[in-house]
Structure 1
Amino acid sequence: MPDWSYRTIFRPLLFRLSAERARDFTLHAMGLISKLPGGSLLIRTLGHMESYPILESKMSAVHIKYPVGVSGALDIHGSAPRALAQFGLGFMEIGPVTLHPVSSNMSIRREVSNEALLYPTPYANDGVDVVEERLKDRRNYPLPLMIRTRHTSASTPVEALEEQQQLIERLSPYADALYLDVIDRGWTLEETVCYCEDAARMAHSINKDFPVFIYVTLDCPQQWLEQLAARADFHLLQGMVIGEAIHTADGDLIGKEGKALSLERVRLVREIAGDSLIIVAAGGVHEPLDALELMDAGANYVQLHSGLVYSGPGLPKRINEAIIYKRIESADHEPLPLRNGHFQHSIDAAALMKLPSFWQGWGWMWLLGLGMVIGGILAWIIAATSVVLPYDIRFLGIGRESMENLNERLLPFMSHDRVTLAGTMISIGILYAQLARYGLGKGLHWSKTALFISCLVGFSSFFLYLGYGYFDPLHGLVAILLLPMFILSMRTKANRPSLDPPNLVNDRSWRLAQWGQLMFVSLGSALAVGGITISFIGVTDVFVATDLAYLCTTPEFLAMYNERLVPLIAHDRAGFGGALFSNALVLLTIALWGINQGQRWLWWTLLAGGMPGFIAGFSVHAVIGYTDFWHLLPAYFACVLYVLGLIFLYPYLMSGRRITRKKDPFGRLQAP
C-alpha cells in the first residue's frame, strides 16, 4: 500500500470506517499479504527502499539499518510486523507490554483536522503471555526489536520492580533492546531514578550488553525531565526515548501537534546529558521535515505512529532519503561522526559526485535508445508508404497488387499494425535514452533495474516473431546490433543515492503527485496487460472480432488465398505486443520508483515518451478508417490516464524555482 494508492484510494475509504476497524483491517490485510509466497517481495517492490551505508548506525550494541523506527502501539496485536518491516524501517518497538492484559471497551478516535489519534485507554495491550507466544516465531520480526515494558498503574516502586523482573526475564530472549516505561506520577523523582537503575541492573544481569533506555511520556513535566536527565546513571542506561503520547482527560493523544513538545524535550535532554546519550524521538513525525528538525535538535533516531496513518506508508522512505541527502550535503572528505560515537562513516562527497562517464556504460544505453528512435522513425515511414518490404513479398510469393486485389483493406490493416509498432519503438527509445542520461548517468539503482527488466523482455520478445514460422531479417539485424549495447550498458555501477533535494513536506503539489503517480502506475499496468494480450492473440487467433469486421473477411479465406498471409500478420501483432509490454515495464518502473520532487527531466521524459505511441495509434486508425469505438476504447482510456498523470505531476516534478517565503534545512525554498 504505497502512498500513491493509500492517499488516493485507501485512505478515503478507510477513514469512512471507525479508527479501530480501519487499523485492524489494514494491518490484517498487510499481514496476510506478507505471509503469502512472494508477498513480502511485492510490498518491498512497490516501495523500493534502497539501503546505503550512510544510513546505518549502532544503537548501543544494536545494528540499525535505517534511523527510522515504528511505534509498538500502532500494531498492538502484532498483525503485520513482517509487512511493516518492508517500508524502510530500521527497528520496531514492541509494546507497551504489561504483566497482565489491559483491554479497552472504548474506541480509538481520529481528530483529522489535527492529524491526531486519541487512545481512550493508556497502555492497552494483550499482556506478556500473548506477546511472548507471538515473539517465539522470530521470522515474523525481521527488524531489531525494542521491547517496551510497563508496570501496572498504581503500583508501588517495589511492586513495579517485581513486575519488571518477570517481564525482563520472559521477554529478554526476544529483545534487542529494552525500553523502560518508568514515569509514574504517583512516585517521587528519587523513586523513579532508583527504579530505572535497578531495572537496568536486572537486564544487565541477564545480558551484560543488553541496551536499556528510559521511556518518558511526551508531556513529562520539564522539571522531572531535567532531573532525570541529570541524575540518571547513563552507564547503566544507554539512552532515552521521548514518547509520542500526551495524556488528556479523554485518553492518550498522539498526533502532529506533538512535534513542538518533542523538539523542546529533545533539546533539553541533549543539552543536559551531552553527546554520549542516545535519544529516540517518537512524537509528531508526519513529514520528512519533522524528522530532520528533531535530528537537528539532538535526536539520533525517530519513531513513527500517527504519521504513518495520516501521511502514508511511504513516510519512512521519504525520511531516509531526506537524511541521506542532508548527510551527503554536509559531508566533506573527513569522517562524519554523529552524536554519542556509536556511528561513524566516512562520506566521500567527491566520490559520490563523480559520476560515470559516457563510455563507462550509460552511453551505450543512450545509443541503444537513439537506435530505437531512428529505427522507429524508419519503420513509421515504411509502414505509412510501401507497408511491406521486399523480404515480406518474397515470403508471401505475391506482390502489393495481388494483396490489394484480394482485399483493399489488407495493406491499410497491416500498416496500422506496423505504424503502432513504430510509435511504440520511438517511445521506448526516448524512455531508454532519458533513463540512461539521467538515471544510469547519475548511478541510480532503480533506473538500471528498470532498463534491465524492460530490455530483457524486449529482446526476448523477438522470439515471438517465430510463432508462425516467419523470421524477420530486419528485426533480427536490429536485435544483433542493439544487444551488445545493452550488455555494455549494464556494466555501469548504479549504487549511488540521489543527489537531488528530496521532498520534505506534504504540501498540495505532493498530494497532487500521488494522483499523478496513480495515473501512471495504472497506465503502465494497463499497457502491460494490453501487451501480453496482444502478443497472446498474435500467436493464437491473430485477429479479434473488430479486425475481421474491418477487413470484411475471415482468417480461413485469407489462409485459403495464401497460407503465409496470416503468419505475416501474426508476426506484426506479436512483435507489437512484445514491444508494448517492454514499454509498459519501463514506464511502470519509472512510475513506481522514479517520481521525486523537482525532477524536471522526468516530466519531459514522460511527455515525450508517451506522445509518439499515442500519435501513431490514433493517427493511423483515423487515416485508414478503422475507428470502431470499442476497438479504440483501451487507447482512449490509456490516453486519459496519460494526460491526467502529466497534469497532476506537473507542479511536483517541475517545482524548484518558485518564489516562496520559507527555506527548508537544505536552503531550498518551500511553500508557505
Structure 2
Amino acid sequence: MPDWSYQTLFRPLLFRLPGRMARSVTLGAIGALSRLPLGSFVIRTLGHMEPSALLHSSIGGVELHAPVGLAGSVDPAGTAHRAMAQFGFGFIELGPVMAEPAAFAAGGTSAAAAPIMLDAAHERIVYPAYAESSGIAAAASRLAKPGHALPQLVRVMPQLGSTPEQALAQLLPMMRQLRQAGAAGFFVDALQQPLVAPEETAWLLKQLRISARADNDLHDAPLFLYIPHDAEETTLVEILKAAELASWTGAVIGESRAADTGGLALDPQDRQSCLAKLKLLRELASPCADFKLISAAGLYEPQDALDAMAAGASYVILHAGLVFAGPGLPKRVNEAILHEKTRLLPAPEPASFWRHWGWMCLLGIGMIVGGLLAWMIAATSVLLPYDEAFLGLKRDDLHHINHRLLHFMSHDRITLAGTMISLGVIYYQLGRYGMRYSLHWARMALLVSGTVGFLSFFLYLGYGYFDPLHAVVALLLLPMFLLSMRRNPDQPFRGSVNVSNDDVWRRAMWGQCCMVVLGFALVIGSITISGYGITTVFVPQDLAYMETTAAQLQAMNPHLVPLIAHDRAGFGGALFSDALALLMMSLWGLQQGQQWLWWTYLLGGAPAFIAAFSVHMHIGYTDFVHLSPALFALALYIGGLVLLYPYLMPRMRRQLQ
C-alpha cells in the first residue's frame, strides 16, 4: 500500500469505514501480504525503502538503521509488524504494556471495543483508551517471535491508580521478563497520572533507575523517560531534577492521556507543545552529551520531523502521520533527514564518463539511432534482403499474396522502432542523471530492464527465425551494457526532497499512480504480445484486418508466419524491457523538483505513442478493440504528465504564474 495507491484509492475507501474496522482491515491486509511466500519481496519492490547507511546510529548500545520508529498504538497486536519493518523504520515501539490486560476509558471502564474516531478534516484521531494493553504475557510472546529484525523498544506503564510503591513492584518484574524475551530497551511511561505529589513520582523514577542498573538482566538496557507533550512545565522540571534526568539514556516526548476521558487524542497542534518540551529537555540535560531525545507527537509530514530534530530530537516516532500521509512517510522522513546530513558533507568526486554512466548513455544513443533506422526501413521497404531470402519472395510478390500483408508487417516494425527509441531515451536519461550520481534505484532499474531486454533476443527463435541484423546490434550494444553495470559505491541522493503533504504532493500521488498503473499495464501487455508471438501469433482483429486466416497464410508460404512471429515476439520483448524501466522509475525515482524525470516521461513516451497511433491511422487498422489498450495507456500517460508537472517542474510552474 504505497502512498500513490493509499492516497488515491485506499484512503478514500478506508476513511468511510468505522475507525476500528479500517485499522483492522489495513493491518490485516498488510500483515497477510507479508506472510505470503513472495510477500516481503513485493513490499520491498514496491517501496524500495531501505535506509541509507548514513542514517545508521547507535542509541544506548542498540544499533538502528534509521532514526524513525513506529508507535506502539498504531498496531497494538503486532499484526503487521513484519510488513511495516520494511517501510524504512529503524525500530518499533511496543506498548504501552501493563502487567494485566487493560483498556481504560472514562471512569476506568473497558474501552477495547469502543469506536476509534477519525476527523479527516482536522487530521485528528481520538482513541477511547490511552492504553490498549494485552498484558505482559502477550507482549513477551510477541517479543520472542517478532518476525522481523528491527529492535523493539517497549513502553511499560503501571496500572492506573497505582501508588509509587505498587508501580515499582509492577514495573521491575515486567521489564525483567520483557528483556529476557528480547526487548532492546524501555520507555518508562509513569507520568500520565495527575502529578499530585511530584516528589513521589520522582522517587519512583529514581528508584526504578537505580534498581534497573543493579539488576543482572536490566543493567545494560537503555532506559528512556516517557513524557507527555502537554505536561505542566513547572511540575515537570521539579520531577526531572529530583529524578536526576541526565542519568537516564534519554527521554521521549510523546502522547498524552486525557485527564477527563482517559483516552488519547492525536492532533497536528501537538507539535507545538512537543517542540517546546524538546527544547526544555535539551536545556535540562545539556551537561550530558549522550542524552538522547525522541519526538513522538505531532509528526504528520517530513518537515515536522526536521523541526523536531532542530529542537533537539535525535529520533522520531510516527503515529497519526501514517494514517493521514500514508505508509511512505517513514521513507520520506528518512530522505529529508538524509538530505540535511548530506548538505553538510563535501560532494563526492564526479564519476568519470567512461567509468559506467557514459556507457549507458552511449547505449541509449545507440538504441535511439537504431530505432530511427528501423522506423525508416519499416515505413518504406519494410523487408530487408535477408527477410526476402528467408521467404523466397520479393516485396512485390508479398503484396500480391495479400494487399494488406506488408502494411501489417510495417505496423509491427514501426511500433517496435518507436519502443526502441523510447527505451533509448529512458536509458540515456537514467545514465546521465541517475548512474552518473551513483543512485542505487537507477542502477537497479537499468540492470533489470537491460537484462530482460537482451534476454528477449531469444524470443526471436520461438518460430525458428534468426534475425542477423538484430543479432549484430545486440552484440554491439551488449558490451556497453556490461561496462555500464560495473559496480560502483552507491551515493545518497543530493537533490531536493519533498517535506510537505501539500496539494502539489497529493496531486503528484495521482500522477505517480497513473505512471505506475501504466507501467504495470505495459508489462501485462508486453507479456501478452510476446506470448502470442511465440504461439498463435495473431489476434482475431489482425486476421480480420488482413481478411485472411492463419492457415491461409501458412499455406501461401510456410516461412511467412515465422517471420511475422519474430516481429511480434521481438516487439513484446522490447516493450517488456521498456515497461520495466518506466515502472521502476515511477515506483522508486520520483523526487520533487527533479525536472529531468518529467522530461524523461515526455520524451521517452512520445516516440512509442506517436509510432503506434500514426502507423495504425496510416494503414487503416483502426479497430477500436485493437486500439483500446493503447488508448487506455495514452490516457494514463497524459494524466501522469499533467498531474506530475507541478511536482517535478516547480521552476517552470513559478515562471508561468
TM-score class, shorter: over 0.9
Q: Which has the larger displacement, 552-561 or 418-427?
A: 552-561
Q: Does residue 244 of structure 1 match 2:255?
A: yes
Q: Does residue 632 of structure 1 match 2:627?
A: yes
Partner of 2:219: 208
Query: RMSD of aligned C-alpha atoms?
Result: 1.5
Deviations 1:130-174 (A, max 9, x none): 222222213x14211110111011111111111112211221122
Partner of 1:290: 304
In structure 2, what is the Cα distance between the partners aligned to 1:464 and 1:149?
A: 60
In structure 2, what is the Cα distance between the partners aligned to 1:64 and 1:469?
A: 55
In structure 1, what is the Cα distance between the partners aligned to 2:589 and 2:457?
A: 28
Q: Which has the larger displacement, 244-253 or 78-87?
A: 244-253
2:237 pairs with one of 204, 226, 237: 226
1:579 pairs with one of 574, 578, 591: 574
In structure 2, what is the Cα distance between the partners aligned to 1:659 and 1:102?
A: 54
The structure-2 alpha-carbon separation of the partners of 1:527 and 1:90, relative to structure 1 and needing over 3 Å to count, comes to same
Partner of 1:363: 358
Give the aligned residue type for 1:289.
Q
In structure 1, what is the Cα distance between the partners aligned to 2:388 and 2:211?
A: 88
Partner of 1:50: 50
Deviations 1:20-52 (A, max 9, x none): 110111011111111111212211221112332
The structure-2 alpha-carbon separation of the partners of 1:35 and 1:326, relative to structure 1 and needing over 3 Å to count, comes to same
Describe the SS at the equivalent of 2:626: helix
Describe the SS at the equivalent of 2:149: coil
8 Å CA contact retained: 2:357, 2:432: yes
In structure 2, what is the Cα distance between the partners aligned to 1:279 and 1:141?
A: 25
Deviations 1:202-238 (A, max 9, x none): 3331232111111111211111222233333346421
Give the aligned residue type for 1:80.
A
Partner of 1:278: 292
Partner of 1:39: 39
In structure 2, what is the Cα distance between the partners aligned to 1:124 and 1:272?
A: 32
Matches within 5 A, 1:409-448: 409-448=404-443
In structure 1, what is the Cα distance between the partners aligned to 2:626 and 2:73?
A: 52
Q: Which has the larger displacement, 493-502 or 374-383?
A: 493-502
Partner of 1:154: 161
Partner of 1:194: 203
Deviations 1:258-287 (A, max 9, x none): 101110100111012114321111001111
Partner of 1:343: none
Matches within 5 A, 1:90-239: 90-103=90-103, 104=111, 105-138=113-146, 140-173=147-180, 174-183=182-191, 184-185=193-194, 187-204=196-213, 205=215, 206-234=217-245, 236-239=247-250
2:493 pairs with one of 492, 498, 504: 498
Deviations 1:64-117 (A, max 9, x none): 110010110111111111111111000110000011111314211112222111
Give the aligned residue type for 1:350.
A
Matches within 5 A, 1:535-546: 535-546=530-541
8 Å CA contact retained: 1:70, 1:93: yes
In structure 2, what is the Cα distance between the partners aligned to 1:122 and 1:325?
A: 35
In structure 2, what is the Cα distance between the partners aligned to 1:442 and 1:29?
A: 37
Q: Which has the larger displacement, 187-196 or 613-622?
A: 187-196
1:314 pairs with one of 323, 328, 344: 328
8 Å CA contact retained: 1:440, 1:494: no
8 Å CA contact retained: 1:114, 1:257: no
Give the aligned residue type for 1:377.
L
Q: Which has the larger displacement, 190-199 or 434-443?
A: 190-199
TM-score normalised according to structure 1 size: 0.93
8 Å CA contact retained: 2:56, 2:63: yes
TM superposition shift of 1:186: 5.1
8 Å CA contact retained: 1:325, 1:502: yes
In structure 2, what is the Cα distance between the partners aligned to 1:459 and 1:279?
A: 52
In structure 2, what is the Cα distance between the partners aligned to 1:403 and 1:75?
A: 67
In structure 2, what is the Cα distance between the partners aligned to 1:496 and 1:50?
A: 13
The structure-2 alpha-carbon separation of the partners of 1:659 and 1:377, relative to structure 1 and needing over 3 Å to count, comes to closer
Q: Does residue 9 of structure 1 match 2:9?
A: yes
In structure 2, what is the Cα distance between the partners aligned to 1:658 and 1:244?
A: 40
Describe the SS at the equivalent of 1:86: coil
Give the aligned residue type for 2:73.
A
2:613 pairs with one of 609, 615, 618: 618
8 Å CA contact retained: 2:68, 2:317: yes
Structure 2: segments with no counterpart, 5+ residues: 104-110
8 Å CA contact retained: 1:524, 1:587: yes
TM superposition shift of 1:254: 1.2
TM-score normalised according to structure 2 size: 0.96
Describe the SS at the equivalent of 1:263: helix
8 Å CA contact retained: 1:218, 1:246: no
Deviations 1:534-587 (A, max 9, x none): 000000000000000001111111111110000000000000000000000000
In structure 1, what is the Cα distance between the partners aligned to 2:647 and 2:195?
A: 51
In structure 2, what is the Cα distance between the partners aligned to 1:268 and 1:583?
A: 54
In structure 2, what is the Cα distance between the partners aligned to 1:476 and 1:224?
A: 79
TM superposition shift of 1:391: 0.2
Deviations 1:484-513 (A, max 9, x none): 000000115251111101111111110000
8 Å CA contact retained: 1:287, 1:311: yes
Give the aligned residue type for 1:247.
A
Query: Number of paired residues?
Result: 641
Structure 1: segments with no counterpart, 5+ residues: 332-348, 661-670
Describe the SS at the equivalent of 2:85: helix
Deviations 1:325-347 (A, max 9, x none): 1111124xxxxxxxxxxxxxxxx
8 Å CA contact retained: 1:230, 1:273: no
Partner of 1:350: 347
Q: Does residue 641 of structure 1 match 2:636?
A: yes
8 Å CA contact retained: 2:294, 2:316: yes
8 Å CA contact retained: 2:195, 2:201: no
Give the aligned residue type for 2:116.
I
In structure 2, what is the Cα distance between the partners aligned to 1:41 and 1:84?
A: 13
Partner of 2:588: 593
Identity %: 50
Partner of 2:274: 262
Give the aligned residue type for 2:120.
V
